[in-house]
Structure 1
């Protein structure tokens, strides 16, 4: 009977130990042998709160307070306006994720040196007393700039631990905040210099009105990039739209949806865009009327006053600027690896097959000079007149203009200091006195280095941050960071560097409200499916207890239970959304959709009535030349017009003689960043391997499945290899998110891409350049 149940639930018998042994007081999970599967089940609608590229409806099938299986939305018609919010294999794996036997069960305190990974169980009262004592001491000695709430996306619900902690710290004098994201730092910083906003995309249902869609490093089949994004691309393909994928990897999106794959060397995307512009200019294919009417800075006749001759975008492309290099297809072929004939054809297609959409993914902007490719895409959209029209796309960040209001928990930070989320190592080492030219905003200089870190539901301290070995060495130094608190489900690579670890409830054990990621016109209610187990606690619960130790309980909670805060969010949301359901109705259905009659077109009003609707830039026009960037007076690394800048550890770096392979870290369908890396089911689906091109493997005597050593000056890893023609020669890719697992020699044994990446923030956004690494690969005997 037991084996039959295992078969029905799709679990291998060897993995039963991962679900637990006994039902009862010890909190483990089990399958009874007395016919539990025949009992009446409850189906509970919920969703995820991890930083997945999608946000879907999850239906949890519960029997006797245990999850039997997970399904997804299948009970509404699948229409263009309301497609089903169907989960992928990541949603289906949440059950195994929750029932993992390695889940944290009780609070723990570090034993021995920080980073050794040795901990002892303590009570919740002991843990909160220890946290409060250290927080009081460090706040008193160093002030609010020393208290840092680390960037973390393991829980992105409206009621996450980060939200509550920021609320409490704001009442206790403040904390050091951050701006930007690891995923989108460059695009969110650079796009507004052209358009004044990051909301530059049409809604996805408008893609069927395009004639040509160019996907530049955009792979929604795996990254999702908003639930149903691949569905809308499929609709466009079925409508006859030609789709081209430009990517170092022949991605699943390219295979399933694209008519053509154009491989490109990492870090060189803007050289391709420059050469496409050269073709358009020299063959007079640009929409000059659009450029003259809506833009500044394309040519010398439309420059801001006081700018010396030769600084327009056209002058740069034609080589009439200081570098004297025409950005020809021949020039770009040598850099990008794309044949010049392909570049010429691609430029003509985009210029002539209107309307067209150049959709930029977030991979190309996670490079050494990622800001440039972002603005380069916006210029080509302007040159082709594809802005403000149906079927077009303004490029840049590309978020749609629609932004339905969903309320948030009120919190206020009296301390105005902010750093780039990526620059926290600098703020640890030289934070005191660190100023605006080193990522700081809101204050002239920081008054303290970071001394206390709250890492709540995140793995960016070590695993998802560049140069993991150096980051770990930095955090091990107690003379620098005095205290680190982590709240999580597992003993992750980052948690191992903590002084106190707190076990969090799982998203299937709590209620919350979540919104889509990037795209989507809906909001979801996360219903609690099963009871919390072991000594795991909800963030509001333990942070409320922490607030008592500062005499702030009444102010912090306002006398509200967690259920009452949820009702508060629903009521505030309903105030700005007539027809929004009551809290009870919202919980029962699990989803609320906004329905729109027409697609949203970014900048439609600006193009149709420019006098009444200027662009939200200082000039009121599309700023191909940015006076604000010019005034920064760093013209080589932060030019006023987008330029190709040869990257350190790119294909033109002299270091390529020593380390001849460009290594990137693509997003895998089996993980949400580092979440699920310890999930046995997902490892069966997609084992962690490095992707290597057939030619590169042959020249090194490597065969498929061999163990290989991947290394550079920053680190070494050993992992299996996947030999494939789906990645271009000279490029390798390690699926990002593998947990940093060094052995006694410091060699990573899991394939954590950030063992190899370099900590060097990008010049404008101070963002993440994690796709900029050179390595060598050798077979392990």
Structure 2
């Protein structure tokens, strides 16, 4: 019997050809149990998926990425109606005078990386926060209920007033950061951000003064140069004859989105590359760099050994030192400190009897003395040479000494203020006009200020806390010395609960708080531990202008590409509305709403667009155009979407000081290798540092290292660099990106062989602070005794408090250096194979394909 599925005349019998067989394969397989029924072939009339729209069917809108990945570049949103269906990037046509394919050294394309291009997956994530939520379970249990904005904001406002009245003006901790909200209007950083201004005006704010990424580095740059704007623009790299990537992997952390473009130009012109790092990175492979593996946290010792070679072999630039440097040697010491130890005295062992020779350094850092001498000679004799002292080695105990030592070596060779040279620590270059909202006397007002990673210690031990334990910033009033009584936290633009050191200590501390508020676009580990979740519109859903990161000279218009999803609002809307509610509850903050957002009325919460437009137009016309020589109108800027500055020559930090004789921004007007400021401090406990910092750069043994007796129990030094596939913890939950990587522990092949570990094995990594579980990746590209676990994985705790997702900050120490450097890379651990469960994320099925294909089956 034959069946006609079209309901017409039965089909004539026929011998099906190969093409016909393929057409009916799916249906035939499904009917195999019906006794071999023959199905009439039929052309498919539908797709299993919707085809991509073509460009002429879509609206194209120029915008940008929004995160601290090391750049901040163009995204081009292609939308159908109010839905973004595709993202592309700069192709040269969008700037004034641009055209498809334009890409020059003066106006390079601002191409987004895979993180930015994957943003649709974050924008439309199932974990997107769409409505206000309030906790109904235990803190950290992740149980929330949806509430109205009125209910959520009333609760927050009432708790804020209660905390301020009961515990005083330090009761609320500001833990904002620039993770996801950095623009000229919607800003969430610690210094200029919306939350800091909001809490300061409310009169209840404890500030977190140290920046996790680079606090030791910013200290060094301010002490040495008087500014953190110590970086050249990226195009200067093209003129280098030697680039030393010291702890720097620009393939992963750019420090300017076009860094690779200009470094490739340098390579083509014959530039030599060196990598000083515990692991052989993709950047080293790309540039065929000489890899010098070094024990973690010993960088200052190796730099001191290089300085000894340079002094001993008379390779230093004495003319440069005499003219521009303070405290390099006896002849350049300040008058008030003629008898104090100079940098050269320390290096040559004049006072302490220990010359910092290459052999001395080898015993500490593990780098052969011959290699130290070779690198020192190469750097001192190659002109111009760029010693790029990156941030990662400074994220360690006494990390500020590494950065200061690098600055001394840069100065003694005369590579500062020279095209192709480098003075970098921080690396901030071109200065943008960065603030569109009112920046008044309340900006950054605080009533207590502590080191960011000491908040848990402060909460757990209050009131029995010494000011030096938490890095209490001194005040010039009667409250100086009072330890903050922290009872609440606001997280804005940050996932700090997941990202600060010693997470288990944070977990203990958060149980003692009365209010935890998280403002974010998606649920995060920090959000899981909050009391109130406030859904924040992404940068696609509000009007702003994007700033370049620490390098780059451009502005990118960020229009409201789509309407905010769900009931999400911008941070500015949320804080404005809270301000109006607080003024009704607290008579000490009269007219709070209008003072906080003077261009707006109470309607701003529901209709922000005209106000945002007014702020941004005033910023462009009142700051950008008059201060930066821009002739393009605001309307024209919006039409093009991007403004790229062009300069007659590459921007080089401190060129004017070296060429024109302008003073450095230090007290002496010189590069201060010897710091009179540090030398003049009598009571360190009365400073924000808490503990002594030497007046000259010195090698100081870190809390934990491979030279420590602690290696008996914890024989591996853990470092936690930035991954390529996340921006800190942002994008961890993006399926597209997780197909390309696995959170894994990188371990040297010899160490793995001794422990019986193969790639793909599950291992546990532990010390006295915590334990995490993660797959292993065995390689020769890592120094023996060192293991690597990328930061930013979203924690996932089992019932015993073991992190199943591989977050290294369950293992890191919350004890900061005196200058505030975070000790992320100062951690000793042990490793072994384990049967404990590993989960790569909250979705157990979201195993990375990279992990699957790496394993042998």
Whole-Å separation in 2 of the counterparts to 1:36 and 1:501: 35
Question: Which residues in structure 2 correspond to 1:181-200 (within 5 Å)?
Answer: 181-200=211-230
Q: Which residue of the other structure, out of 495, 519, 524, is the alignment partner of 1:459?
A: 495
Whole-Å separation in 2 of the counterparts to 1:648 and 1:107: 43
Q: Which residue of the other structure, out of 422, 431, 449, is the alignment partner of 1:403?
A: 431
Whole-Å separation in 2 of the counterparts to 1:423 and 1:288: 43
For 1:603, the equivalent position in structure 2 comes to 654
* 1:536 equivalent in alignment to 2:536: no
Question: Which residues in structure 2 correspond to 1:712-751 (within 5 Å)?
Answer: 712-751=767-806
Where do 5+ consecutive residues of structure 2 fail to align? 1-46, 94-101, 584-591, 601-610, 685-689, 836-857
| 3-state SS of paired residue (2:88) | strand
* 1:569 equivalent in alignment to 2:619: yes
* C-alpha deviation, 1:120, in angstroms: 1.6
Question: Which residues in structure 2 correspond to 1:464-503 (within 5 Å)?
Answer: 464-477=499-512, 481-503=513-535
Q: Which residue of the other structure, out of 57, 66, 85, is the alignment partner of 1:49?
A: 66
Q: Which residue of the other structure, out of 220, 230, 233, is the alignment partner of 2:250?
A: 220
Farther-moved stretch of structure 1 (541-550 vs 157-166):
157-166
Q: Which residue of the other structure, out of 416, 422, 436, is the alignment partner of 2:453?
A: 422
Where do 5+ consecutive residues of structure 1 fail to align? 1-30
> What TM-score, normalized by structure 2, do the two folds share?
0.83
* C-alpha deviation, 1:256, in angstroms: 0.7
Farther-moved stretch of structure 1 (122-131 vs 391-400):
391-400
For 2:108, the equivalent position in structure 1 comes to 83
Aligned CA distance change for structure 1 residues 192 and 137 (closer, same or farther; 3 Å): same
Q: Which residue of the other structure, out of 761, 770, 773, is the alignment partner of 2:824?
A: 770
Aligned CA distance change for structure 1 residues 308 and 429 (closer, same or farther; 3 Å): farther
| 3-state SS of paired residue (2:777) | strand
* C-alpha deviation, 1:559, in angstroms: 4.1
For 2:541, the equivalent position in structure 1 comes to 509
Question: Which residues in structure 2 correspond to 1:324-723 (within 5 Å)?
Answer: 324-400=353-429, 402-411=430-439, 412-413=442-443, 414-415=445-446, 417-429=448-460, 435=467, 438-441=470-473, 443=475, 444-446=480-482, 448-460=484-496, 462-477=497-512, 481-551=513-583, 552-560=592-600, 561-573=611-623, 574-610=625-661, 613-632=662-681, 638-723=693-778
| 3-state SS of paired residue (2:721) | coil
1:362-400 Cα deviation digits (max 9, x unpaired): 101101010001111111111111122222222332322
Whole-Å separation in 2 of the counterparts to 1:189 and 1:717: 32
Whole-Å separation in 1 of the counterparts to 2:648 and 2:734: 42
* C-alpha deviation, 1:430, in angstroms: 5.4
Whole-Å separation in 2 of the counterparts to 1:296 and 1:570: 41
Indicate conservation of the 8 Å contact 1:310/1:316, yes or no.
no
Whole-Å separation in 1 of the counterparts to 2:553 and 2:462: 41
Indicate conservation of the 8 Å contact 2:273/2:287, yes or no.
yes
Indicate conservation of the 8 Å contact 1:43/1:62, yes or no.
yes
Whole-Å separation in 1 of the counterparts to 2:228 and 2:498: 28
Aligned CA distance change for structure 1 residues 117 and 381 (closer, same or farther; 3 Å): same
| 3-state SS of paired residue (1:720) | strand
Aligned CA distance change for structure 1 residues 306 and 546 (closer, same or farther; 3 Å): closer
Aligned CA distance change for structure 1 residues 431 and 235 (closer, same or farther; 3 Å): farther
Whole-Å separation in 2 of the counterparts to 1:529 and 1:757: 40
* C-alpha deviation, 1:640, in angstroms: 1.2
Indicate conservation of the 8 Å contact 1:180/1:188, yes or no.
no
Farther-moved stretch of structure 1 (327-336 vs 433-442):
433-442
* 1:108 equivalent in alignment to 2:148: no
* C-alpha deviation, 1:643, in angstroms: 1.1
* 1:37 equivalent in alignment to 2:67: no
Whole-Å separation in 2 of the counterparts to 1:603 and 1:448: 40
| 3-state SS of paired residue (1:656) | helix
Aligned CA distance change for structure 1 residues 398 and 544 (closer, same or farther; 3 Å): closer
Farther-moved stretch of structure 1 (96-105 vs 571-580):
571-580
| 3-state SS of paired residue (2:231) | coil
Whole-Å separation in 2 of the counterparts to 1:673 and 1:387: 31
Indicate conservation of the 8 Å contact 1:161/1:456, yes or no.
no
| 3-state SS of paired residue (1:374) | helix
| 3-state SS of paired residue (1:264) | coil
* C-alpha deviation, 1:621, in angstroms: 1.9
For 1:18, the equivalent position in structure 2 comes to none
Aligned CA distance change for structure 1 residues 159 and 404 (closer, same or farther; 3 Å): closer
For 2:38, the equivalent position in structure 1 comes to none
For 1:6, the equivalent position in structure 2 comes to none
Indicate conservation of the 8 Å contact 2:555/2:642, yes or no.
yes
For 1:249, the equivalent position in structure 2 comes to 279
Farther-moved stretch of structure 1 (388-397 vs 667-676):
388-397
Indicate conservation of the 8 Å contact 1:369/1:637, yes or no.
no
Indicate conservation of the 8 Å contact 2:157/2:581, yes or no.
yes
| 3-state SS of paired residue (1:422) | helix
Indicate conservation of the 8 Å contact 2:293/2:783, yes or no.
yes
Farther-moved stretch of structure 1 (594-603 vs 689-698):
594-603
* 1:123 equivalent in alignment to 2:148: yes
Whole-Å separation in 2 of the counterparts to 1:636 and 1:452: 28
* C-alpha deviation, 1:492, in angstroms: 1.3
Aligned CA distance change for structure 1 residues 677 and 415 (closer, same or farther; 3 Å): closer
Aligned CA distance change for structure 1 residues 719 and 325 (closer, same or farther; 3 Å): same
Indicate conservation of the 8 Å contact 1:368/1:761, yes or no.
yes
State the number of aligned residues: 742
Indicate conservation of the 8 Å contact 1:708/1:780, yes or no.
yes
Aligned CA distance change for structure 1 residues 397 and 37 (closer, same or farther; 3 Å): closer
Indicate conservation of the 8 Å contact 1:295/1:623, yes or no.
yes
Aligned CA distance change for structure 1 residues 300 and 161 (closer, same or farther; 3 Å): closer
Q: Which residue of the other structure, out of 297, 305, 320, is the alignment partner of 1:275?
A: 305
Q: Which residue of the other structure, out of 158, 162, 169, is the alignment partner of 2:199?
A: 169
> What TM-score, normalized by structure 1, do the two folds share?
0.91
Indicate conservation of the 8 Å contact 1:476/1:497, yes or no.
no
Question: Which residues in structure 2 correspond to 1:7-18 (within 5 Å)?
Answer: none
Aligned CA distance change for structure 1 residues 386 and 555 (closer, same or farther; 3 Å): closer
Farther-moved stretch of structure 1 (255-264 vs 374-383):
255-264
Aligned CA distance change for structure 1 residues 64 and 590 (closer, same or farther; 3 Å): same
Indicate conservation of the 8 Å contact 2:186/2:571, yes or no.
yes
Aligned CA distance change for structure 1 residues 617 and 310 (closer, same or farther; 3 Å): closer
Farther-moved stretch of structure 1 (54-63 vs 410-419):
410-419
Whole-Å separation in 2 of the counterparts to 1:41 and 1:84: 23
* C-alpha deviation, 1:262, in angstroms: 1.2
Whole-Å separation in 1 of the counterparts to 2:747 and 2:469: 39
| 3-state SS of paired residue (1:555) | helix
Farther-moved stretch of structure 1 (228-237 vs 571-580):
571-580
Indicate conservation of the 8 Å contact 1:300/1:312, yes or no.
yes
| 3-state SS of paired residue (2:393) | coil
Whole-Å separation in 2 of the counterparts to 1:356 and 1:35: 52
